[in-house]
Each structure stands twice: as structure tokens, then as C-alpha cells.
Structure 1
Amino acid sequence: MRELVYTGFVSLDGVVDSPGGGPGEDHRSGGWVFKDIEFLPEAFSLKGEELEDTTALMFGRHSYTAFAPTWRDSDDHADYKDLPKYVVSTTLSDDALVEGWGPTTILRSTDDVIELKKSVGGAIFIHGSAELARRMSDARLIDRYHLLVFPVLLGAGKRLFSEADQDKHALSLRESASYPNGVVKLIYDVDG
């Protein structure tokens, strides 16, 4: 079975929305990753390390429409260009897919994600996509979390985890590191 891995930048209070800022921000702290935290390349090395395991990318509709036009032409994201992409959306149409950014498939339901996980292949990484991450977590479909936790409390924003009353998710720490700028890398496997 293929692994589904969530990777993201998260504030200490669990906010994952648009760390670089941008349209759709519903709070005044947009751009929080790059505004107040000293940039240290080693604190972001996880992103390069992930490329070795990434065989496909998955997005929710909002993240796909934000990332695809930018990442397609970005030298920083060139390694993602030809990877298969999956967009989980009930509303995105085929004619809204971005040309020239590798093969892209629209998945219409959680059941479609379950079937994809049963297919042959390697790890599928979810970038951004807070709403999708919550839905996949609640459905027990995420196998691993790659988090860069930033030393900031935002109070408002899109949350990584649902506040629904549900059964406990146990996690096992696979790897961690801390950096002088206060960023902490946490990689967790989801147990069971």
C-alpha cells in the first residue's frame, strides 16, 4: 500500500495556511514563515530530503490552483514538474488543470484516495491543503507527518488538525531536529 505523507510548515498553535502569504488569508499574520523567522538553509533541508521519497503529489482544490501556476515555472520546484499530481475535489473541472505540470488526475472522493493508496507505487506527499489534510487524517489515511514547527503563535488561520471529537491517533517519532532560529523538524509515523 502506498504511503500518504503530509508535509508542511506549521505554527506552534497548529496553523498551516499560506506561510508565504497570499490571496484568501483570513487573518492579519499571513506570510508568517518568512516575516519574522531568520532563514537558515539547514532548517528547510527537510524539503530537499523529501524529494527522494516523493513519487506523486496530492492537493486540495485551493492549494492546487494556488501552487500549480507558480510551481510549474519555478526553478525551486523543478523536481516536482513531471511527477504525477492528484487533486481531491468535487468541483474542479478538467479544463481548470494547469498545462505543462505533469500528469494530473482529479479524485472526487475519499474512496478514490483509498483506491489510489492501494495502487502500486511509492509515497504520495500532500503539500499545504489544510482542509484536505484534516479530512484525510479524520479518515485515517495519512501514514506520516513531516512538520517544520515554527516558534510563533498565530491564533487565527487554517488548522492542520480537526477539532472533532474522535478516537485518539497515536504517533511514533521517526526523526527530530531543532535549529538556532527556533524551528523544530518533527517526522512522525501514524501508528496502526
Structure 2
Amino acid sequence: MRDLVYTGFVSLDGVVDSPGGGPGEEHRSGGWVVKDIEFLPEAFSLKGEELADTTALVFGRRSYEAFAPTWRDSEDHAAYRELPKYVVSTTLPEDAIVEGWGPTTILRSTEDVAELKKSEGGAIFIHGSAELARRLSDAGLIDRYHLLVFPVLLGAGKSLFSNADKDKQALRLRESAAYPNGVVKLIYDVVT
């Protein structure tokens, strides 16, 4: 069984929406990762470390549409170019796949993601995609969280975790680190 890993930048109050800002932001605090936090390379080293474990990427439709055209041509994301990508969407048409960004498959349901986890290969990483992450978490499909927690309270934006009334889900701390700029790295395994 392949591990499904959520990786993301999150505010202290659980918002993952708009960390880099950009068009289509729904709240005034968009761009919160770069606005008031001192950049320290070591605080972002997790992103590079993840590449060694990443064998595929999963996105929700909106995150795919935002990331694909940018990451395809970005030298900072060159290592992702040829990795298999999966977009979970009931509405994305096949002709909306971005050319030149490696093999991309559209999955139409949570059940399709569960089947993908049963396939051969290593870890599958979810970037962004707050709505998808909530749905997959509620379905018990996420195995690990890689979080960089930023010292901000945003109030508005998409939350990583749902408000569903469900059974408690325990997490086991795998690794943590705190950085002088207030960012905290937290890696949790989901206990099953």
C-alpha cells in the first residue's frame, strides 16, 4: 500500500489557503507565507527533503489549474516535471491537462484515490488542495502530514481539517523542528 502524504504551509489556525497569494484569492491575507515572515532556507528544507520520497503528485482541480502552468516552467520545481500526476475532479475535462508537465491522469472519485494507493510504487504527495485533503482525510486515506506551521492567525481561508463530526483520529509525531523565524516543522503519521 502506497502512503498518501499531505504537505503544506499552514497558519496556526489551520488555514492552508493563499500561502503565496496571487489571482483569485478570496481573503485579504493572501500571500501570508512571504509577507511578514523572515525567509530562512532551513525552515523550508522540508520541501527539498520530500523530493526523495515523492513518486507521484495528487491535486484537486483548482490547485492543479494554479500549479501546473507555473510549476511546469519553474526551475525550482523541475524535479516534479516527469513525476506522474493525478487530478481528483469530477469536472475537469481531459483536454484541460497541461502539456509538457509529465503524465497526468484524472481521477473522478475518492474511491479512485483509494485504488491508486493500492498500486505499486512509493509515496504520493498532495500539495495545496485543501478541499481534497479534507475529503481524503475524512475517508481515512491520508497516512502522513508534513506541515510547516507559520506564526500567523488568518481567520479567513480554507482550512486543512474538516469540521465533520467523526471519530477521533490520533496522530504520532515523527519529526519536529522550530526555526528562529517562528516557523515550526511538524511531521505526523496517522495512527490506524
Specify if TM > 0.5.
yes
Contact 1:87 1:104 in 2 (8 A): yes
Secondary structure in structure 1 of the residue aligned to 2:46: helix
Corresponding position of 1:67: 67
Secondary structure in structure 1 of the residue aligned to 2:78: helix
Corresponding position of 1:134: 134
Secondary structure in structure 2 of the residue aligned to 1:45: helix
Q: C-alpha deviations, 1:141-191, integer Å up to 9, x for none?
A: 000000000000000000000011110010000000000000000000000
Q: C-alpha deviations, 1:89-131, integer Å up to 9, x for none?
A: 0000110000000000000001100110000000000000000
Shift in Å, 1:24: 2.3
- For 1:27 and 1:95, locate their aligned partners in 2 and report how far apart those are by CA, in whole Å: 31
- For 2:124 and 2:116, locate their aligned partners in 1 and report how far apart those are by CA, in whole Å: 10
- For 1:85 and 1:27, locate their aligned partners in 2 and report how far apart those are by CA, in whole Å: 29
- For 1:30 and 1:111, locate their aligned partners in 2 and report how far apart those are by CA, in whole Å: 32
- For 2:139 and 2:99, locate their aligned partners in 1 and report how far apart those are by CA, in whole Å: 31
- For 1:18 and 1:100, locate their aligned partners in 2 and report how far apart those are by CA, in whole Å: 25
Secondary structure in structure 2 of the residue aligned to 1:172: strand
Secondary structure in structure 2 of the residue aligned to 1:137: helix
Corresponding position of 1:18: 18
Corresponding position of 1:175: 175
Normalised to the residue count of structure 1, the TM-score between the two structures is 0.99
- For 2:39 and 2:110, locate their aligned partners in 1 and report how far apart those are by CA, in whole Å: 37
Percentage identity across aligned positions? Answer: 86
Contact 1:56 1:124 in 2 (8 A): yes
Structure 1 consecutive aligned stretches of length 4 or more whose deviation exceeds 3 Å: none
Number of residues of Structure 1 aligned to a counterpart in Structure 2: 192
Shift in Å, 1:22: 1.4
Whichever residue aligns with residue 165 of structure 1, its letter is: D
- For 2:23 and 2:135, locate their aligned partners in 1 and report how far apart those are by CA, in whole Å: 22
Secondary structure in structure 1 of the residue aligned to 2:15: coil
- Spell out the pairing of 1:125-164 with structure 2 (5 A cutoff): 125-164=125-164
Whichever residue aligns with residue 128 of structure 1, its letter is: G
Q: C-alpha deviations, 1:38-58, integer Å up to 9, x for none?
A: 000000000000000000000
- For 1:137 and 1:93, locate their aligned partners in 2 and report how far apart those are by CA, in whole Å: 25
Corresponding position of 1:122: 122
More displaced stretch, 177-186 vs 23-32: 23-32
Corresponding position of 1:96: 96
Show structure 2 runs of 5+ residues with no match.
Answer: none
- For 2:71 and 2:31, locate their aligned partners in 1 and report how far apart those are by CA, in whole Å: 17
- For 1:27 and 1:82, locate their aligned partners in 2 and report how far apart those are by CA, in whole Å: 33
Q: C-alpha deviations, 1:40-83, integer Å up to 9, x for none?
A: 00000000000000000000000000000000000000000000
Contact 1:18 1:128 in 2 (8 A): no
Corresponding position of 2:184: 184
- For 2:12 and 2:95, locate their aligned partners in 1 and report how far apart those are by CA, in whole Å: 38
Show structure 1 runs of 5+ residues with no match.
Answer: none
- For 2:137 and 2:23, locate their aligned partners in 1 and report how far apart those are by CA, in whole Å: 25
Whichever residue aligns with residue 24 of structure 1, its letter is: G
- Spell out the pairing of 1:30-45 with structure 2 (5 A cutoff): 30-45=30-45
Contact 1:10 1:16 in 2 (8 A): yes
